[in-house]
Amino acid sequence: MYGYYRLASAVPTLKVADVAYNVEQIISGIKEAQANDAAVIVFPELSVTGYTCGDLFFQPTLQEAALKGVQHILEQTKKLPILAIVGLPFVYQSAIYNTAFVLQAGKILGIVPKTMLPNYREFYEKRQFVSAINPRHDASIPKTIKVLNQDVPFGTKLILNQSGTPLSCAIEICEDLWSVVPPSSQHCLAGATAILNPSAGTELTGKANYRRGLVSQQSGRCLAAYVLSSAGVHESTMDFVFAGHSIIAENGRLAAESPRFSRTTTFIYADIDLERLKSARISESSFNDNYVDTKDYQYIEIPQSITQSPDLRYAHNPKHPFLPPTKSRTERCQEIIDIQATGLAKRIEHTNAKTLVIGVSGGLDSTLALLICDRALKLLNRPASDILAITMPGFGTTGRTYNNAVQLCQLLHTSLREINIKEACLMHFKDIGHDPAEHTTTYENVQARERTQILMDLSNKLGGMVIGTGDLSEIALGWSTYNGDHMSMYAVNCSIPKSLIRCLIQHVAENSSEELAHILQDINDTPVSPELLPPSDHGDIEQKTEDVLGPYEIHDFFLYHFIKYGAPKEKLLYLAKHAFAGDYDSALIEKCLDTFIRRFFTQQFKRSCIPDGPKVGTISLSPRGDWRMPSDAGYATWM
């Protein structure tokens, strides 16, 4: 669905050199993966015979049994559209090749021989096998050979495509990945979106970590899916142990991993968005700056239609895509804060700013910006008193936010000034002929611009710099007053969405005194509001931004997938309904999506002139680099 394909790796139980037994396990594995709606399943290297047969590979009996085993697999799976990758020794022109056979619905779609044959320490493959790049054989082997009465493409440069879909598979075998220039790098440049690797690596202390990193990094380097299936514990243990360590990675992310040392058949699955990978390749200019000569490649059409993943059961589709993974959250949050503070510290040094002027409201954005100011000054060995925090109560300010703002500044030991803006705004209403009883956009924006004027003028007076507080979510939706809170001299939160701001404040709270942590937690729990409209009779916030726009976490979800991968409206809706199932009803998600598209396009003019600020993640809307869009672009096509 929407470019998602279910990729599988299987490590079946095995008996060394017992082809009949191994073939039955493979057939069972193919059927189980098909029943689980997998598009592709990869078995380990030489899975038909076992990898550790040694000189038995020279025996014609084993060679012939392996080929007959393939025939039996074809007969038993001839009605199944799943692509199956199985390994076996294959004899051609008086040489034995370590090969991967691609099988589908009773057909052999291709045979890929191994390129890099290890010949060190525990591996002596060159004793039995010939490399695919051996000059003695390479020149004389045709691109298509006859196998089991079928004309079969043979070679290392095979890419299997399904027309009209992003499914495009290529194969490399075990050691190929460990080489200086893996064949998969060329395969991906030639169009492959998924690399399939039947492998057999011995298990040594620490090797699993290296293997895991190698697969993940290659998938990231190639902007591809990568499926590796490694030989299991039932291989010979005469000198070494195999652990059945299988991995599925997607563009640098570990998508699935098998338990090691399992004594039963193991399967792993991952729903991978191949459409997203193709989109990333288009936007990643460095990918297309590489070159590969494709004249020797054979592009093979997959004859049987392969169904895309019917659901996202094995997909990585988090509702908060901007948030760091839980296991690395502390490290990543601190890294983000360090990037923000380092950017600000450089700007302070460059401008010789004597004071950092910031408006504090007791809300999320100004709180994080204030914490970053404090951190930046620490980097410069300057006191927190060099921060002039200004609280500017207006018509909508509540006691909760006011008290939190004041206490926060006191705990951080900043300079603090209070300037009530009500009288100045009432005078301005009179000047422009606006009735203050009319709570229109004018009523709200007058307050926002009055606050910005105060900050800017005090900054001039004190030789300071106005620190912007607006975040990426507000920038995307244009939820700011043009030339009001829209403007500053350095915007520290400009690439941090609302959902991540809460996470960062929580991180600071967890590493702060009990008193400061209590204030930060209450700020995190306060409803998001510009507080420009009067509070309730009980003094509570009446104007809640998410009541107007919809939940920010939904908008952040749309923003991530829209900017990073160019997901169209239908896909955004499908992914959001999956991610937020049980949290929000479909009608609200659909309404939020319409709001997001409309506001994202109509508010570009504000983004076209936003201040400088540091990029902390992969998404930024700065007009100077990451996002260049005309301010008058229409959005009908996206609706």
Number of CB atoms found within 10 A of residue 135's CB: 8
Among 218, 207, 280, CA closest to 253: 218
**Tokens 């912007």 appear where?**
468
Instruction: In whole angstroms, give the CA distance from residue 69 to residue 363.
Output: 68
Instruction: In whole angstroms, give the CA distance from residue 403 to residue 381.
Output: 29
454-493 burial, b for 16+ CB within 10 Å, e for fewer?
Answer: bbbebbeebebbbbbbbbbbbbbbbbbbeebbbbbbbbbb
Residue 133, strand partner residues: none
Instruction: In whole angstroms, give the CA distance from residue 84 to residue 86.
Output: 6
Cβ 565 vs Cβ 598: under 8 Å: no
**Polymer length in residues for the chain:** 639
**Tokens 């924006």 appear where?**
445
Amino acid at 146: K
Residues with Cβ within 8 Å of residue 386, at least 6 apart in sequence: 354, 355, 356, 377, 415
Amino acid at 281: R
Instruction: In whole angstroms, give the CA distance from residue 162 to residue 168.
Output: 7
239-278 burial, b for 16+ CB within 10 Å, e for fewer?
Answer: eeebbbbbbbbbbeebbbbbebebeebbbbbbbbbbbbbb
Residues with Cβ within 8 Å of residue 343, at least 6 apart in sequence: 490, 492, 613, 614
Instruction: In whole angstroms, give the CA distance from residue 608 to residue 521.
Output: 34
Helix 364-379 vs helix 329-351: angle between axes, to the nearest 10 degrees?
70
Number of CB atoms found within 10 A of residue 107's CB: 16
Residues with Cβ within 8 Å of residue 286, at least 6 apart in sequence: none
Tell me how many degrees the CA angle 439-443-445 measures, rounded to the nearest 5: 135
Instruction: In whole angstroms, give the CA distance from residue 495 to residue 279.
Output: 22
Instruction: In whole angstroms, give the CA distance from residue 506 to residue 491.
Output: 21
Helix 422-432 vs helix 441-462: angle between axes, to the nearest 10 degrees?
120
Amino acid at 117: L
Cβ 344 vs Cβ 490: under 8 Å: yes
Handedness of CA 152, 153, 158, 159 (dihedral sign): negative
**114 flagged as catalytic:** yes
| Residue of 53, 114, 175, 444 with catalytic role | 114
**Tokens 């990029």 appear where?**
615
**45 flagged as catalytic:** yes
The radius of gyration of the chain's CA atoms, rounded to the nearest angstrom, is 30
| Residue of 53, 169, 174, 409 with catalytic role | 174
**174 flagged as catalytic:** yes
Number of CB atoms found within 10 A of residue 201's CB: 26
Cβ 414 vs Cβ 372: under 8 Å: no
Cβ 567 vs Cβ 638: under 8 Å: no
Instruction: In whole angstroms, give the CA distance from residue 596 to residue 479.
Output: 11
Residues with a known catalytic role: 45, 114, 174
